[in-house]
């Protein structure tokens, strides 16, 4: 763990440099050879060569998607862990991604909506409804919404919503193909128009989450003590919940349900920076898109001429870490 404000600030600066390097690697590395000149020419104006078109139409939107989705899912996971005081909270594990996915499929299949500007509202509504349902289900019985009960409720809800989503997609072959590609988690679906539609919601969610970091420090001490310190508990939880819905709903809309980023990265950030959520949020904001972009680059390089979607690569790394958390959750609790 980094101790002292200077050491944490310096470490965060190094992490930003790594993020810049990962961003550059995401633009230039892949099946096609891209030079620095190709990137600069593509950014300056209308691309003329095939390499410049690849950069302008494919690599830059893909990298921008990775930055937005990584930051969104990572900060959403950190916020959820703080709000629920549950070290295993994550948009994927608590059914939020599944709710957003089902809502998008319903919009596509039932209403014929195929643009992000149309179904983004369904994604937000699905994420919000799933979050409320999981919390209500996990609150039943003695002890209220304990970490274990929330995880069980989230797993059951995710399975149920996933079954409904599969049932809908099986009725339409073309929809099934689109959904199967989207469900594994991919950074290749979003174009410039889709990013411009969804980005304001993710940015708004990031601002709300970062602004609530001080309240999360108080909530980590318990509701009674938080109230004694002047924290408006219900207002703080409402702001955090809105942030999570915006972040998870927007990220799922453009990339599909990418798992484990919201679970793993906040824990790594906490191990580095300590329990202060102001630092946890800052480190997560930088580290999550870095990890997602590196995973995407790895997926491009290890299976050439084919590609592994980023959701598969992240799951291969995140699943063992999740099992470690389940086994040692008392050691990593918030």
Peptide bond into 305 cis (omega under 30): yes
pLDDT band at 161 (very low <50, low <70, confident <90, very high): very high
- Quickly state the pLDDT bin for 144 (edges 50, 70, 90): low
Range of the domain at 122: 5-331
Which band of pLDDT confidence, cut at 50, 70 and 90, is reported for residue 331?
very low
Estimate to the nearest angstrom the gap between the alpha carbon of 321 and the chain centroid. 17
> Total structural domains in the chain?
1
Q: Looking at residues 73-77, what average pLDDT do you find?
A: 94
Among 121-125, 170-174, 201-205, name the one with the lowest average pLDDT.
Answer: 170-174
Residue 282 has a pLDDT of 95
Is pLDDT at 141 greater than 80 in this prediction?
no
Three-state DSSP at 47 gives coil
Q: Among the ranges 82-96, 131-145, 195-209, 294-308, which has the highest mean pLDDT value? A: 195-209
Higher pLDDT, 227 or 183: 227
Contacts of range 272-275, beta carbons closer than 8 Å, 24 or more positions apart: 272/1, 272/2, 272/11, 273/1, 273/2, 273/8, 273/11, 274/1, 274/2, 274/3, 274/8, 275/217, 275/220, 275/334
- From residue 99, alpha-carbon distances to 79, 91, 106, 128, 166 in Å are 18, 10, 11, 8, 13
Range among 31-35, 70-74, 90-94, 220-224 rated most confident: 70-74
pLDDT in the model for residue 332: 44
- Residue 73, pLDDT > 50, answer yes
Mean pLDDT calculated for residue range 20-26: 94
- Supply the CATH number for residue 318's domain: 1.10.3470.10
Residue 326 in this model has a pLDDT that exceeds 70? no
Residue 325: which pLDDT band, with cuts at 50, 70 and 90? low
Average pLDDT of the segment spanning 12-29: 93
Give yes or no for residue 274 having a pLDDT over 70: yes
For residue 333, pLDDT over 50 is answered with no
Compute the distance between CA of residue 283 and CA of residue 12 in angstroms, rounded to an integer: 7
pLDDT band of 287, cuts 50, 70, 90: very high
- Between helix 60-84 and helix 261-273 the angle, nearest 10°, is 70
pLDDT tens string 174-224: 777 767 766 778 888 777 888 888 899 999 999 999 999 888 888 888 778
* More reliable by pLDDT, 171 or 272: 272
- Among 66-80, 115-129, 247-261, the range of highest mean pLDDT: 66-80
């Amino acid at each position: 763990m980094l101790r002292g404000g200077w050491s944490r600030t310096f470490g965060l600066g190094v992490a930003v440099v790594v993020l810049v390097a990962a961003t550059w690697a995401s633009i230039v590395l892949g099946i096609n050879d891209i030079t620095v000149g190709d990137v600069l020419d593509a950014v300056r104006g209308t691309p003329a060569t095939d390499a410049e078109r690849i950069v302008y139409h494919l690599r830059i939107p893909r990298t921008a998607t990775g930055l937005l989705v990584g930051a969104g899912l990572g900060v959403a996971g950190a916020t959820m862990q703080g709000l629920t005081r549950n070290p295993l909270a994550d948009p994927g594990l608590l059914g939020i991604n599944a709710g957003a996915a089902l809502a998008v499929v319903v919009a596509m299949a039932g209403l014929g909506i195929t643009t992000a500007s149309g179904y983004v509202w369904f994604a937000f509504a699905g994420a919000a409804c799933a979050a409320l349902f999981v919390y209500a289900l996990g609150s039943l019985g003695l002890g209220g919404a304990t970490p274990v009960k929330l995880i069980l409720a989230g797993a059951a809800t995710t399975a149920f919503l996933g079954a409904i989503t599969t049932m809908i997609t099986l009725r339409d072959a073309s929809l099934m193909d689109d959904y199967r590609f989207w469900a594994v988690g991919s950074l290749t679906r979003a174009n410039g128009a889709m990013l411009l539609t969804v980005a304001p919601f993710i940015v708004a969610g990031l601002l709300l989450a970062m602004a609530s970091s001080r309240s999360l420090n108080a909530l980590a001490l318990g509701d009674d003590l938080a109230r004694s310190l002047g924290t408006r508990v219900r207002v703080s939880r409402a702001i955090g919940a809105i942030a999570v819905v915006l972040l998870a709903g927007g990220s799922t809309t453009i990339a599909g349900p990418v798992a484990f980023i919201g679970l793993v990265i906040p824990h790594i950030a906490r191990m580095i920076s300590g329990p202060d959520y102001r630092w946890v949020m800052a480190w997560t904001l930088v580290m999550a898109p870095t990890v997602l972009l590196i995973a995407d680059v790895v997926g491009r390089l290890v299976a050439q001429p084919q590609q592994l979607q980023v959701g598969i690569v992240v799951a291969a790394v995140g699943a063992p870490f999740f099992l470690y958390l389940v086994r040692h959750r008392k050691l990593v609790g918030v």
